[in-house]
Amino acid sequence: MEEPGQLKRACIDAAAGAISGGISRTVTSPLDVIKIRFQVQLEPTSSWPLLHKDIYRPSKYTGVVQATKDIFREEGLRGFWRGNVPALLMVMPYTAIQFTVLHKLKSFASGSSKSVDHIHLSPYLSYVSGALAGCAATVGSYPFDLLRTLLASQGEPKVYSTMRAAFLDIVRTRGVPGLYAGLTPTLVEIIPYAGLQFGTYDTFKRWTMVRLYPSFLYSLDQFDRKELFVGKTYSCNTGIELLKPCEIDEIHILCQYSALAA
């Protein structure tokens, strides 16, 4: 039987996740656009291809500063937020679903809906809960991720002028399943990524609590913002660094649409 206030708690989790995801995504959009441009560029960015001029053409983007200048010169300031609308449509439901499902799974695993009791979960259960929540969020928001990647990866001239044009072209040429192209490598990436993210975060949180507050009851209120920020940053970076190859594979699969449509 559910404890009182569960619906309210679920709504708060969903709203908080959506708002925080939308704000962080908008602020970091320029970095995401630059990252995607490098990922879809076939030519290497280092000096190595200078020794193999017969194989590689000159790289369009060779560094972050140079890429920033080129994008601004060719596309203006708005170019750094290209694909941000579908990105928001992806990130906001993604984070809303993720945190809602995560809380439900942790409540089921711990036998309590109180967050204070979730800290007692083992790293294994934290990993599994995070992985399943990440899968649910990915499947629920994936079409917007595909559209975001297509719009952010294209330079000038544009293949798709709007999100609507990209959506209609994909549905017309490949049907509804086309909106989920690249889902498999994405899930291969997100399962260990989300698992490591939340598993590492919860482990760091427990370790910090035992080390710094041994006489206190386990409570999130005992952590200051700096400790929570460090823990979250460390856990995210751990997953990102280990699973970067999967993300690049996913980007290349999605960008086949641009090549076929051009």
Please state the domain extents for the chain.
6-261
Q: What is the pLDDT of residue 84?
A: 83
Mean of the per-residue pLDDT values of the chain: 75
239-262 residue pLDDT tens = 444 444 544 445 555 555 444 444
d(CA 244, CA 181): 19
6-261 fold: Mitochondrial carrier fold (1.50.40)
Question: Which of 52-66, 73-87, 162-176, 194-208 has the weakest average pLDDT?
Answer: 52-66
* Average pLDDT estimate for 145-170: 82
Q: Percentage of residues in the chain with pLDDT exceeding 70?
A: 70
Residues 6+ apart with CB under 8 A from 62: 45
Confidence of residue 133 (pLDDT cuts 50, 70, 90): very high
Handedness of CA 113, 119, 125, 128 (dihedral sign): positive
Confidence of residue 138 (pLDDT cuts 50, 70, 90): very high
Output the pTM of the full model.
Answer: 0.66
